[in-house]
């Protein structure tokens, strides 16, 4: 009986909470509840940290250069489109985070398990999950600046990865590899500073200020993680030849 009462209360709380969702998202794929997103992310984490490596343990690495080249340049095109149409593409930005889960899938299939780092998996897991709530309840407005900036950074990043995936003959064009981490660091500094204005506002007009604090926390957290990477990779000279994507460049 106690369990039944708790379940009923949980359902009532959920119904009360979800009624404040943006009605424009009614009927959109994956937006009915947070559970499909949570399931996809859970499946992703299980595959890249457990099932995938086990399946690949006694198999030869897949040769995925052509697929990866197509994938990387497709993400460049998608990021350019979202940069141009950001006001109308909050949901598309959210959905693009599922596409980017393929980054890690490719690592696993190519047996590059050393690139499946905590920073990489955490970044890819938390983005679609947090963005579901942002799109569902507060699409647009002040909270989209970091998405716009991230799209611009992804144009640069996936152009690099796309050229890299074309093969060694094209690596001579990647002289700007050393600037990749710097670009990512500048991104998180700008996100943290921009959203930090919430602390000096007398009255925040954004409909759900809680999302502003979440974005600030997210930007600050990744700024610290990337600075930690920068310190060990460059200041202490411990940079590995094959560092994980979303930590710096990678060997494709």
Return per-residue pLDDT of the chain as tens, 252 residues: 667 777 888 888 888 888 888 888 888 999 999 999 999 999 999 999 999 999 999 999 999 999 999 999 999 999 999 988 875 688 999 999 999 999 999 999 999 998 898 889 999 999 999 999 888 888 777 778 888 999 999 999 999 999 999 999 999 999 888 788 889 889 989 988 888 887 777 776 665 777 888 888 888 888 888 888 777 777 766 554 444 444 444 444
Q: How many angstroms separate the CA atoms of 120 and 244, rounded?
A: 7
pTM (predicted TM-score): 0.82
Q: How many angstroms separate the CA atoms of 17 and 210, rounded?
A: 14
Per-residue model confidence (pLDDT) at position 244: 41
Per-residue model confidence (pLDDT) at position 87: 53
Q: How many angstroms separate the CA atoms of 108 and 49, rounded?
A: 9
Per-residue model confidence (pLDDT) at position 202: 72
Domain edges within the chain? 33-235
Q: How many angstroms separate the CA atoms of 97 and 66, rounded?
A: 21
Active-site pick, 120, 123, 146, 154: 123
Per-residue model confidence (pLDDT) at position 238: 55
Catalytic residue list contains 123: yes
Q: How many angstroms separate the CA atoms of 93 and 190, rounded?
A: 19
Contact 164, 249 (CB under 8 A): yes
């Amino acid at each position: 009986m106690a369990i039944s009462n708790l379940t009923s209360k949980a359902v009532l709380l959920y119904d009360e909470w979800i009624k404040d969702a943006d009605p424009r998202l009614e009927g959109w794929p994956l937006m009915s509840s947070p559970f499909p997103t949570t399931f996809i992310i859970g499946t992703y984490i299980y595959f890249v940290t457990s099932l995938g490596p086990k399946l690949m343990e006694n198999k030869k690495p897949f040769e995925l250069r052509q697929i990866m080249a197509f994938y990387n340049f497709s993400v460049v095109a998608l990021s350019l489109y979202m940069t141009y149409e950001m006001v109308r593409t909050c949901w598309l930005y959210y959905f693009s985070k599922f596409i980017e889960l393929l980054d890690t899938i490719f690592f696993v299939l190519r047996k590059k398990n050393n690139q499946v780092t905590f920073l990489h998996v955490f970044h890819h897991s938390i983005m679609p999950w947090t963005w579901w709530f942002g799109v569902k309840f507060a699409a647009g407005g002040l909270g989209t600046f970091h998405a716009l900036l991230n799209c611009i950074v992804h144009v640069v990043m996936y152009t690099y990865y796309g050229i890299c995936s074309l093969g060694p003959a094209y690596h001579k064009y990647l002289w700007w590899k050393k600037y990749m981490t710097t670009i990512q660091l500048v991104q998180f500094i700008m996100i943290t500073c921009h959203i930090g204005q919430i602390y000096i506002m007398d009255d925040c007009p954004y409909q759900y200020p809680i999302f502003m604090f979440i974005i600030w926390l997210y930007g600050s957290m990744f700024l610290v993680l990337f600075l930690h990477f920068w310190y060990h990779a460059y200041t202490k000279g411990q940079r590995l030849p094959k560092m994980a994507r979303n930590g710096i460049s990678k060997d494709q």
